[in-house]
Copies of this chain bind each other. A is one copy, B any other.
């Protein structure tokens, strides 16, 4: 038996994403096209699930799907074994830039929490 493949509904269950979302990610090439069953059903590997979980963790940072694709692709290429030194250091540089951006977005996210907390307190007070 080949490594057990999942159909889209299983992937949705495992990731908490909707079918529509998963297909959409494929449309914009954030997720590679999966294999298909003879009848045309999408069949996903565990790798695909991991990629989706990674994307899900990234989502609150308000990146566009394109940025996420870019970032993940860099990361994936870096994980490959035989890679020229120049290429590797270029990729690392780009990843570092993304990391800075991530920290920045994280800051903004935290501000948003504070802003929301302020509103919640205000509302709480008004109710008495």
Binding site for B on A (CB under 8 A): 54, 56-61, 75, 78, 92, 95-96, 98-99, 102-103, 105-106, 109-110, 112-113, 115-120, 122-124, 126-127
Which secondary structure dominates where chain A touches chain B?
helix
| Contact assessment for B75 and A126 in the assembled complex, using a CB-CB cutoff below 8 Å | yes
Residues in chain B near residue A59, CB distance under 8 A: 112, 115
What is the copy number of this chain in the assembly? 2
Given contacts A113-B110, A119-B102, contact A95 B126 (CB under 8 A): yes
A-B contact pairs, 17 of them (CB 8 A): A56-B115, A57-B115, A57-B116, A57-B118, A57-B119, A75-B126, A78-B126, A92-B127, A95-B123, A95-B126, A95-B127, A98-B123, A102-B116, A102-B120, A106-B116, A109-B116, A113-B113
Given contacts A60-B115, A109-B112, A113-B110, contact A102 B123 (CB under 8 A): yes
